[in-house]
Structure 1
Amino acid sequence: MGQINNEFGMKWLYTIIVLMLAVQLQAQNDAPFKKKPVLPDFQIRKLDSTLFFRSKLPAGKPVVLVYFIPECGHCQNEAKALADSLALVDKAVYLWVSFHPLPAIATFAKQYQLADRPQVIFGRDEAYTLPSYFKVRYLPFVVVFNAKHQIVQVYEGGAYVKEIAEQLQHLP
């Protein structure tokens, strides 16, 4: 009988240790934005090859970050929907960021007629800062920030323009 209790105790102890390790590994895998839910400092290269920093974003305006790949079908749908409904979300600055080469990003921006929109900024994240900070897994990865650049909503795999418009309407 003592041996059965000892085996049960060892199995219980082993289970607890495995669970503790799993919790610790999960905590290490949490994206940094979950600990600090703000738009991080970043540097992107814009279509004209100039550098753009977080500090250059217009003060007091919400930001919608879209991390994308030009060849991604869902990203293309997101761009088309935005281009068709830009008036719904004109109170925000749109930041479209990719790690792909600038010529591919420029072609994408022109294809969806977003390149010349004053509230839309396209750029290349050469340091891979944003996907690392957000631990991007699905594209397009969309984040809505309020005017203080705090996270309001995260959409993995894209968002409907109407959803984004509703988020922006509820912001002060």
Structure 2
Amino acid sequence: MKCSRKYQFILVLILLLITSVKSEAALPAFRIALVDSTYFSNKNLKKDMPTLFIYFSPTCEECAALTTSLIALGDKLSTLQIVMITNESLQSVKRFVDQYQLRTYKNIAVGTEGLTGKFLQNNPVQKLPYMAFYNEQGVCIQDYNSTMTVNDFLQKCLIP
């Protein structure tokens, strides 16, 4: 009887460990405030649709160039959802959104995570802009690093 309780305890412990391990197919957890005073999180993402996460700063020149490159792709962006996240103020996000007319793109969500840093804590952001491309199954297939240009990254991920 003692042996079976011991094995039951070990089994429960193993199950707890398995369920607590982060799945590689899981999209990153985040919650951002949008310029319209609503919130957007990973729960709002469409299932079975690729997602491009961009961690940026509204005052970063490379981030501005990236945004210009994205907008230039036009209709090629319509097949994916884009989430742009910063930790800067909502006022600076609003100026950025207005400057690039990002409200006209229904598949782009731009907002701030403020001081929570949830996205930063769970992703290897070392340089801005940081990008991570997740396929339809929620698996990260490519993240941006400084050894490739932004355009090379976009071509690799967005253009079939």
Name the TM-score class by shorter chain. Answer: 0.7 to 0.9
Structure 1 runs not aligned, ≥5 long: 1-32
Question: 2: distance between equivalents of 1:160 and 1:153?
Answer: 12
| CA apart distance, 1:165 | 4.1
- Give the aligned partner of residue 153 of structure 1: 142
8 Å CA contact retained: 1:145, 1:153 = yes
What is the aligned-residue RMSD (CA, Å)? 2.2
- 1:135 is aligned, of 118, 124, 127, to 124
- 2:53 is aligned, of 48, 65, 69, to 65
- Give the aligned partner of residue 42 of structure 2: 54
- Give the aligned partner of residue 99 of structure 2: 111
Indicate whether 1:123 and 2:125 are aligned: no
* Greater gyration radius: 1
Question: 2: distance between equivalents of 1:101 and 1:138?
Answer: 19
1:148-168 per-position Cα deviation (integer Å, ceiling 9, x unaligned):
221010003585346324424
**TM-score normalised according to structure 1 size:** 0.71
- Summarize the Cα distance change of 1:133–1:143 in structure 2 as closer, same or farther, 3 Å threshold: same
8 Å CA contact retained: 2:25, 2:137 = no
Indicate the percent of aligned positions where both proteins have the same amino acid.
22
The one-letter amino acid of 2:81's match is V
Question: 2: distance between equivalents of 1:50 and 1:134?
Answer: 24
The one-letter amino acid of 1:116's match is T
Structure 2 runs not aligned, ≥5 long: 1-21
8 Å CA contact retained: 1:78, 1:159 = no
| CA apart distance, 1:84 | 1.4
What's the secondary structure of 1:61's corresponding residue? Answer: coil
Question: 2: distance between equivalents of 1:162 and 1:135?
Answer: 20
1:69-112 per-position Cα deviation (integer Å, ceiling 9, x unaligned):
01101000001111111322321101010000111011112211
- 1:41 is aligned, of 19, 25, 29, to 29
